[in-house]
Structure 1
Amino acid sequence: MRLRVEQKGASGLADYEILEMLLFPGVPRRDTKPQAKALINSFGSLSAVLEAPAAALKEAGVGPACVRLLALMPEIAEKLSTPQTTKRADIGKWDKLLTYCHTAFTGLPAGQLRVLFLDIKNHLLADEPVMDMPDKTTKACVADILKQALAHNASALVTVRLVSDGLSRAQQMQKDIPFVQALLKAAPLLALDVHDHLVMRNGQWLSFRTMGQDEW
């Protein structure tokens, strides 16, 4: 039976054989096939055995260790069938945005452009770099960002530039203005809000929009 499981999985087993394997850890030196068949005959099906109260299983001759194991099966099945939700960072307030940026971007290469894609509640969906190489046009860079926004089903975004070597924060912002203006012009076509563009270096920042707002 072990070989069949290895080759075909549990789908290749009869119900009593699955139950037989579940009973085995509780009575490892005994043939569990007769007990497995008897339980299915008594309760009517494998699912009925797994959902049976502990008292009924004990009355049917199932030992304490096996009772505990069988009782876990429905709970495991329910857990596996429940969609797992990933907790997303909430960066809907200015201080939370800055804290996230300071934590996430420390040590990243200077000059890199990051995009924070947000859902309708300003929870972070994704934080991704944008390849804005010297030979890449502003239009192509904006197009890439919009494609990524569609892929993430984003409602809004924040762009963050890590100041390039040799530039001040003000110089970097001035250099990025054509890109930001192009993004602000294109984003509404996808009903996408551009909350802000930041330039950052060593924990200090400049904002394209009005700074110091509590929330967007």
Structure 2
Amino acid sequence: MVSSVKGEKPTRFGTGEEQSFSSTGPTGHRQRMRTRVLTAGAGSLADYELLEMLLFPGVPRRDTKPLAKALITHFGSLAAVLEAPAEALKAAGATRANAELLELVPLAADRLAAPKAPVRTDLGSWDKLLAYCAAHLAHAPTSFLHVLFLDSRNQLLADERFKTGERFETEGNPAPEGMSAPPPACVQGGAQVGLEKERIPVPQLVSSIMQRALALHACSLITVRLAGADVQPDRQLLHDAPLVQALLHSAPLLAVTMHDHVVLKGRRWRSFRHLEQQGW
């Protein structure tokens, strides 16, 4: 049948030449859905509408609402549809492209829910180590030994304090004259271990440090000491030598590398490794 209006070109219905209205049909419906999401947010969609939009890419030229409702009816819920295997989805009427896309949704959700990997401080060079110390340890109490536990990439896992007073002392090896000796104790995770009146010998302190290294899965460590106001870095390093030697001996037994022991005083620093290389 040919219909015409005076002054207008005749239109032949049923031949694909009729006027197209963008607000009707699957194309218009999809555009309205997208506009709705942009204006009101995806939270405004019902479960079947959300699934309907997820089905768009796999069914490019057909209304997906009936399929979305059929899948939810078949599996029982939107969550069940998204958790269904690809073969079950295809058996329920979904296209192969639909099934492949829907399988990705739970995976994407798991990735979003996974905790983000922590951004760790890189201490893989002297400049980076000294910059970290200047930023974080400049005003730390001198009565603490800081142990920097590192991963396999020399990134900081933890900076923990071990309270020892101004020096270390081993049994049968008294400290040189003129050094004060407040009773040491070990601090881990903010809690003080041991009684204040007890003196923790080097072997026990080394044991505490290595236990923390194992608990943190550390691959290496650096110890940092802040020298007191009346103590020169070289002198402090000399007094710390028994502990450093004990760590150098014990750490490799547990597959942990003892990189160095550093004494800081303001902008001045001394390294056990550097002085050792110089024949100190």
Bin for the TM-score computed over the shorter chain? 0.5 to 0.7
What is the aligned partner in structure 2 of residue 158 from structure 1? 222
Of 202-211 and 77-86, more deviation after overlay is shown by: 77-86
Q: How does 1:74-93 map to 2 (within 5 A)?
A: 77-93=109-125
Say whether residues 1:176 and 2:240 are aligned partners: yes
Task: Decide whether the 8 Å contact of 1:131 with 1:141 is kept in 2.
Answer: no
Say whether residues 1:105 and 2:145 are aligned partners: no
Task: Decide whether the 8 Å contact of 2:124 with 2:155 is kept in 1.
Answer: yes
Q: What TM-score do you get using the length of structure 2 for normalisation?
A: 0.51
Alignment-mate amino acid for residue 180 of structure 1: V
Percent identical residues: 41
**Cα offset, 1:209, TM superposition:** 0.5
Structure 1 gaps, min length 5: 1-22, 52-72
Of Structure 1 and Structure 2, the greater helix share is in 1
Give the secondary structure class of the aligned counterpart of 1:147. Answer: helix
Give the secondary structure class of the aligned counterpart of 1:165. Answer: coil
Change (3 A) 1:191 1:79: closer
What is the aligned partner in structure 2 of residue 122 from structure 1? 154
- Which of 137, 157, 161 does residue 201 from structure 2 map onto? 137
Distance 2:257 2:207 in 1: 15
**Cα offset, 1:26, TM superposition:** 3.5
Distance 1:156 1:83 in 2: 25
**Cα offset, 1:101, TM superposition:** 0.9
Change (3 A) 1:25 1:89: closer
What is the aligned partner in structure 1 of residue 44 from structure 2? 26
What is the aligned partner in structure 1 of residue 126 from structure 2? 94
Give the secondary structure class of the aligned counterpart of 2:273. Answer: coil
Alignment-mate amino acid for residue 256 of structure 2: L
Give the secondary structure class of the aligned counterpart of 2:274. Answer: coil
Give the secondary structure class of the aligned counterpart of 1:206. Answer: strand
Task: Decide whether the 8 Å contact of 2:143 with 2:163 is kept in 1.
Answer: no
Larger radius of gyration: 2
**Cα offset, 1:116, TM superposition:** 0.5
- Which of 133, 143, 146 does residue 210 from structure 2 map onto? 146
RMSD across aligned C-alpha pairs, in angstroms?
3.2
Distance 1:174 1:119 in 2: 28
Give the secondary structure class of the aligned counterpart of 1:210. Answer: helix
**Cα offset, 1:78, TM superposition:** 3.7
Change (3 A) 1:199 1:50: same
Distance 1:154 1:79 in 2: 26
Structure 2 gaps, min length 5: 1-40, 51-64, 84-104, 166-182, 184-198
Alignment-mate amino acid for residue 114 of structure 1: H
- Residues 66-108 of structure 1: CA distance to partner in whole angstroms, max 9, x if unpaired? xxxxxxx979834443342111111111111111111110211
Say whether residues 1:209 and 2:273 are aligned partners: yes
